[in-house]
Structure 1
Amino acid sequence: MLLLRVDRVGACVEAIDPHAALSVDEYARWSRFASVRRRRQFLAGRQLLRQMLSAQVGAGEGAIAVEPGGALRVATPGLWVSISHSGEWVAAAVADRPVGVDIEVPRPGRDLSRLAESIGSLSGGSADFYTTWTLKEAVMKRWGMGLDLARMRALGAQPIDPQHANAQTASLELDGRSPLLYLAVAADGVGDLSVESTLSWCRETVAHWQLIGAHPRSRSRG
């Protein structure tokens, strides 16, 4: 099982009471966010993930804990989860194996050259940068780690057929317009990925990858 869902933040938080929807620890964390936008993103991620857990495995209740390294953990044995948000979009993944997901909405006018260099992006182009960034951050999440530019820079990847891939990247669009967001999922057997989204895949941008780089440590569940 390897499931991914992408949705709008607004659709996930509409008519949702944070006090009722979140656990005590989650509510305390939600309350510490200063901006309304960040609170909405946090709540949307938790709601989307709980909906997926409830629909797929009947385990939508209970806290979604954060481990010291930043990995998410749920109480159901044998399940791994991951959440990402950018702008007004949120993504969540549920799997029976370690998984990491990352999405990025391009920001017009952003200077990407320094960031591209910091993560070892091959060119200064926007598409290459966002593909590289999402790929490497998804891997960090799969490994149960937070943002680590040094490890991201050292991590390599080469194209490979879907059957042998452990990461997938793509861009998604709305109504045939230019890419709205970039997405990456890192997991063994990523060719089995099942996706639910109101966005359309830009098929020509779908790529499968084999990671090159040592796993820093065994990944904990969550």
Structure 2
Amino acid sequence: MIVAQWIDRSEYGAGGRPLRRAAGRALLSDTARFLGLGGLRVRRRPGQRPEAETPGVWFSMSHTGDLTVCAVATSNVAIDIEQQNARRERRMVSGPPVRFFTAAERELIARDPSRLLPVFTAKEAWAKYLGLGLALGFGSFDEASVIARDPGVEFTRVFIDGTVGTAVHRAGEGLVIRRRSLRPEQLAAGADIDRAERAR
């Protein structure tokens, strides 16, 4: 089972990047506890996807606008969300960049602009799943080609409070999405843990 929990950071006041990091780390701890995984330590390496130090545990985080979502599972998982009607979406709809989309995807988006975010978040989530980020070359693949090469993966659309997203995970795994609210002491602990992990 995959659990994805999300929060609205605007509930906690202004805070910029420090709040985003603290809230993300607190949400990761909360999600891991919900799955019965206890304390989860994160290893960070330059240019690589952050990973759980606990063997057999994977997580993925995404932030957009005031929202943060965190997915945790006992198999590889990646999630990406994007806010609807944001400046980035409007800019890409007016001319989908060749480097991000295949010719067929650009045609699809031109015919139906509402397809942009599902297509783009699928690419972002797949790049996270592989641990490659933007280095993957988004214009070189689409969802159908990924599934044809690796039928063991599944793309699940995620719709959270004005966002469109995609989770990539092992085929057949269930996905549970929960809204959470964090207590001030959870945010403080999240900030402390995040600082300590980044200092290592």
Which residues of 2 match residues 194-205 of structure 1 at below 5 A?
194-197=176-179
Alignment-mate amino acid for residue 37 of structure 1: G
Q: Please name the residue that 1:78 is paired with.
A: 56
1:139 to 98, 123, 126: 126
The secondary structure found in structure 2 opposite 1:167 is strand
Shift of 1:116: 4.5
Structure 2: which 5+ residue stretches go unaligned?
Answer: 181-200
Change (3 A) 1:116 1:106: farther
2:99 to 96, 118, 127: 118
Deviations 1:166-188 (A, max 9, x none): 11124334xxxxxx101110111
Q: Say whether residues 1:98 and 2:76 are aligned partners.
A: yes
Change (3 A) 1:187 1:67: farther
Change (3 A) 1:86 1:108: closer
Q: Please name the residue that 2:166 is paired with.
A: 184
Which residues of 2 match residues 2-81 of structure 1 at below 5 A?
2-11=2-11, 14=12, 36-62=15-41, 64-81=42-59
Higher relative contact order (CA 8 A, sep 6+): 2
Alignment-mate amino acid for residue 71 of structure 1: R
- Worse-superposed segment, 164-173 or 136-145: 164-173
Shift of 1:40: 2.0
Q: Tell whether the 8 Å contact from 1:2 to 1:190 is kept in structure 2 after alignment.
A: no
Shift of 1:118: 2.9
The number of residue pairs the alignment matches comes to 167
Alignment-mate amino acid for residue 118 of structure 1: R
Shift of 1:9: 1.8
Shift of 1:79: 0.3
Structure 1: which 5+ residue stretches go unaligned?
Answer: 16-34, 174-179, 199-222
Distance in 2 (CA, whole Å) between partners of 1:61 and 1:187 is 20
Shift of 1:108: 4.3
Distance in 2 (CA, whole Å) between partners of 1:7 and 1:155 is 31
The secondary structure found in structure 2 opposite 1:128 is helix
Deviations 1:6-64 (A, max 9, x none): 221245xx49xxxxxxxxxxxxxxxxxxx9422222221111111111222242354x2
Distance in 1 (CA, whole Å) between partners of 2:172 and 2:156 is 7
Distance in 2 (CA, whole Å) between partners of 1:37 and 1:92 is 18
What is the TM-score of this pair, normalised by structure 2?
0.71
What is the TM-score of this pair, normalised by structure 1?
0.65
Q: Percent identity?
A: 23
Q: Tell whether the 8 Å contact from 1:69 to 1:144 is kept in structure 2 after alignment.
A: no
Distance in 1 (CA, whole Å) between partners of 2:73 and 2:2 is 4
The secondary structure found in structure 1 opposite 2:38 is coil
The secondary structure found in structure 1 opposite 2:128 is helix
Distance in 1 (CA, whole Å) between partners of 2:97 and 2:167 is 20
2:159 to 167, 171, 185: 171
Q: Say whether residues 1:88 and 2:66 are aligned partners.
A: yes
**Which protein has the bigger helix share?**
2
